[in-house]
Amino acid sequence: MNRPAPESSAFLPMTRAEMDVRQWSELDVLLVTGDAYVDHPSFGAAVIGRVLEAAGYRVGIVAQPDWRRIDSIQGMGRPRLFCGVTSGNLDSMVSNYTAARHKRKEDAYSEWGTPGKRPNHATVVYAQMCQRAFPGVPVVLGGMEASMRRVAHYDYWEDKLRPSILADAKADILVYGMGETAVREIAARLRTGKADLGGIPGTVRILGARETAAEDFDDCIILPSWEELQEDKQLLLRLTKVVEAQQTPFCGRRMVQRDGRRAVLLEPPAAPLPVGELDALYELPFQRLAHPAYRGEIPGFATIKDSIIVSRGCAGGCAFCGLGFHQGKFLTSRSVDSVHKEIRRLAEAETFHGTVSDLGGPTANLYGCQNGHTAACRKCHRPSCLWPKLCPYFSLGEEQILQLLRGARETPGISHVFIQSGIRMDVALRTPEYFRELVRSHVSGHLKVAPEHLHPDVLRRMRKPAGDFEKFREKFAEESAAAGKKQYLVPYFISSYPGCTEAEMGAVEQFLRKEKWNLQQVQDFIPLPMTPATAMYVTGLDFNTGTPIPVVRNAGDRERQKRALRPNPSRKSRIRFTDSVA
């Protein structure tokens, strides 16, 4: 039976009138986000809001406030405990600008895709708004922008180094990663009147001059200071290596970065949620819809509204990607029963038409895989379990993922279950039964894969295996033919990557010419804050060897690399150039 569309009272309140329906005189927590409010577990503000609600707190959401007007965040009154601030699902500069530093014509997380609804450096702007609107109320930063800018970092769009985002936002604390555990602890301490927010895993604080002078940092790793980085940008390489190596909750250490007389103090990451808690999170009362205040489509939601997240974390450690710094490399997969239960709920939705668009996560076929479960894993500082070769302690989860897929297909009301998230080709080649079932039952006609490049030196700097794409392509063709299906791979490649000149790009160009392949999409590299690829872009040094490498910086060189991937004039093309924002 189809469910009726929910009233606004089923969502977290966005207005005083919605608070009145709940008979709330005040909020405990006000969340300010740069995205439209979509009550779906793919949207960070919705997740944190529902987690706090389940813990007994009264939570309201202000979505995409007018940053030129303080009263745009004051409508629901002063929150009792804190203001939580996020730029949204993406870094606001990625949302607002292309790789060519041009303003984007669409914001996928705004109603109608309308651009310009979030400011540049939205986390900083919203934090300052909260401080002006509600003096004395603690401000907590979170989300991807906060995570990836928690220490001094390079900003590509301004082409300069910036200090920790806390220095500009002047917030009380920053939560990095998937922040459910940390934000509950912050709320609990503030509810009991405890002002000290120190020692919470997965958080960062900036200490004042007096507190810095009194603090004992003997147990901390000392990072290159803000002043040292300004004097020598090559120190960004060491900074990135150290922060990445400590991105483990099992053996990561506290770190400190000096900024003048102040200190940015980083606690080790929070532990991943165990399976039971992750299942419980996805069973919270998400409406899986945009708030009724919106009348237009929100493009970023339209693409995932019938998808289901099945896991967290990514063990790949790709050098250009921020997932390892945000979700971490340690995997947690939801139980098969929990996912099947969500599929049954989705099948009852009025807006559902029979097709689950994706059972995925950061990497779809890492569902059921395990790392972090052995003593060796818990001592390991490697950023990747899959590169340069598969770690012997990494456990493949073929049986569990097959159980997941088969049960999903058999659910009443489900016509198709597709996999649209990224596929690790190296893992797929090691799980032949999964590969066969994927190709025969879960490809919508086109399967997206990410070889990223074909030159071995560039792939090494990306931390991607060489040679897997050809093997995967042959196996995919073989399995598709055996199933009697005409199906196609949709590969995408990254242009302008550090260490890649037109000569290295030629490896991809030659392949495309030989195979007469039409690309649908090419990613133009964007140096995201804190990643190893960005450290190489800024310093011009190989991340592993420290030797000089060529770096494409100007628009003309970038355009020439993109041109190498354009098909021959004799071939029709629908190639689309986008930005690397992983």
Give the model confidence (pLDDT) of 418-454 as tens digits.
999 889 999 999 999 999 999 999 999 999 899 999 9
Beta strand 139-141 with 38-39 is unpaired
Query: What pLDDT, on a 0 to 100 scale, did the predictor assign at position 571?
Result: 44
Query: What pLDDT, on a 0 to 100 scale, did the predictor assign at position 5?
Result: 55
The residue type of 557 is D
What are the phi and psi torsion angles at 362 (to 5°)? Answer: -55, -40
Query: What pLDDT, on a 0 to 100 scale, did the predictor assign at position 142?
Result: 98
Alpha carbon distance 329, 321 (integer Å): 12
Give the model confidence (pLDDT) of 230-282 as tens digits.
999 999 999 999 999 999 999 999 999 999 999 999 999 999 999 999 999 99
CA 486 to each of CA 178, 249, 306, 477: distance values in angstroms, whole numbers, following the listed order: 40, 45, 25, 9
Query: What pLDDT, on a 0 to 100 scale, did the predictor assign at position 422?
Result: 85
Position of tokens 């606690």? 267
Beta strand 160-162 with 153-155 is antiparallel
Helix/strand/coil for 154: strand
Residues near 23 by beta carbon (within 8 Å), at least 6 away in sequence: none
Cis peptide before 388 (omega within 30 of 0): yes
Query: What pLDDT, on a 0 to 100 scale, did the predictor assign at position 562?
Result: 84
Query: What pLDDT, on a 0 to 100 scale, did the predictor assign at position 573?
Result: 37
Residues near 8 by beta carbon (within 8 Å), at least 6 away in sequence: 14, 18, 21, 291, 292, 293
Segments in the chain below pLDDT 70: 1-5, 520-521, 566-582
Tokens standing for residue 147: 């995570």
Residues near 139 by beta carbon (within 8 Å), at least 6 away in sequence: 82, 83, 85, 127, 130, 131, 169, 170, 171, 172
Give the model confidence (pLDDT) of 451-502 as tens digits.
999 999 999 999 999 999 999 999 999 999 999 999 999 888 999 999 999 9
Q: With contact defined as beta carbons under 8 Å apart, do 398 and 368 qualify?
A: yes
Residues near 206 by beta carbon (within 8 Å), at least 6 away in sequence: 164, 166, 167, 259, 262, 263, 264, 265
Q: What's the pTM?
A: 0.94
CA 378 to each of CA 63, 86, 323, 478, 496: distance values in angstroms, whole numbers, following the listed order: 39, 31, 19, 39, 36
Alpha carbon distance 240, 25 (integer Å): 46
Alpha-helical segments (H) within 336-450 = 336-347, 398-409, 425-429, 432-441
Alpha-helical segments (H) within 114-245 = 122-133, 144-148, 165-169, 180-191, 209-214, 226-231, 235-245
Tokens standing for residue 462: 């990306």
Domains of the chain: 8-205 (3.40.50.280), 306-431 (3.30.750.210), 445-582 (3.30.750.200)
Position of tokens 């809001």? 49
Q: With contact defined as beta carbons under 8 Å apart, do 309 and 360 qualify?
A: yes
